[in-house]
Structure 1
Amino acid sequence: MIQVEGLAFSRQGRRIIEPLSFTVPDGSVWGVVGPNGSGKTTLLRLLYGALSPQAGVVRINGQPLDSLARRVIARQVAVVTQGENSESGLSIADSVMLGRIPHRRMLQCPSARDYQACADALGRVGVAELAERPASQVSGGEAQRALIARAVAQEAEHILLDEPTNHLDIRHQHEVLTTVRELGSTVVIVLHDLNLAATYCDTVLLLDGGRSVACGTPSEVLTAAHLEPVYRVSVDVLIRANGRPHLVLSERPLPHLSDSERKTA
């Protein structure tokens, strides 16, 4: 479980994250959405300790994040950051094996359990056939899936993903997010694609200017009333047979929404 209490962050005197409080229950998949500059990546970095908040606290399974050693955090939280590159001097298999480092003592060789965890992760994410390929010689989409495989191999209770579907075609977007859902881990995903958030997330947090506009189920959050003031486009919401929304976004802007209206909506 991830608990956030009064979390706030500023940079050079400018507030990036307004005070946020929420709880991500065990085994749930949370999506964080919002336009560019809304604070999504900053929030994720606060959740795994890459940034320190000016106020508030993040708790992992009830323990304050800032009280935990980095090795302990790595056993509990796996992270795939946006724009991260695979290690060019390693094979895909060796890159995925890095996810097992938190489970080994310093200088300890990988165990049979480590090799099995990596093989399982490569298979689940669909890159087993690339295991011996140099990480520098695969496509962007294949490299992204290898990074996700590394997070899966880490076997952490919590997985934080920043735009994990970048560089992936439609098929692999859905395959990767289906895999993430089936892990049973507590997952927080930053997504730009609202329809992917609607399909795969139990809860959606909509950010704008560092503040929470709405937080709830996809049907509660992904509505025209919430999205149009934030994205400034027309939104039509269709309901699928499974009850989850599907959004049709128009390129036609909404000129009647001024910047001040957008901030206060």
Structure 2
Amino acid sequence: MNSLKLGLLAATTAVSFGFINYSASIAKVSTVQNTQSSSEVSSLKDKAIVSQQVAFNLPNFKPEASMNGNTLQVSIPVSLFEGPINDILRANEGSYKDTAFQKMDVSNLRVAFTNGGFTVNGNWRVQAREYLGSILGKKKYSPWVSVSGSLSQGFNVKVSNGKLVAEAGKTDIRGASKWYGDIVDAVISRMKVNGQVNKQVNSGLQSINGMNVQQLLVSAGSAQVAQALQISPSDASKLINSRVGGINATISNGRLQISVAVR
């Protein structure tokens, strides 16, 4: 119990300082795992996930900036995002449903980048049984039946209301039959707009090395804009900031491409 209290105290202290390195939060959960039951660890992990915002602190972060006519373009390799997103996905594996009649868990979640965004792939397993009645006051159930398959959840990366976001698209469940609807509902609850995966990925995309998409453009591209337009770097920064409503982003050819027209 002492290790659990210390872990919770550390997490509470860290939260008070704003954004938290996501991998550090997972490490805190791991240190408690040796002394607590799986259900207690799962509960602690869920609380840590809900209470923390995610920031993507990318190593070797060197965005490439260039001018394409009147447009400033900033390019970042998507490989830099693979680790942080997979950390989020690993934290969202495990039990998605646990009732007297049905259990569902999701495993092996991992990200794959595609043109336009990325896909989350993984595996699911459902165990189900039926209530047969009561004998001498004791409930009787049929034996557990287990079925498994795979899943894919697409995400489109874009700028919405001035923020870099991953918008959940099509959910593809493979191998399901009788419990298809239950599986889709459970996956969507984590992946769609208000789901933990969606919220955490978007939180990270909106704080890349401490910068939002507008600040990224200014930091990486003000020198190129200044040179192209023959203005001072300060004026170039002001110009980029004034075009915040025109920022676009997508994933193409293995890179996150952010652009804005500056004249």
TM-score by length of 2: 0.30
Q: Give 1 or 2: higher strand fraction.
A: 2
TM-score by length of 1: 0.30
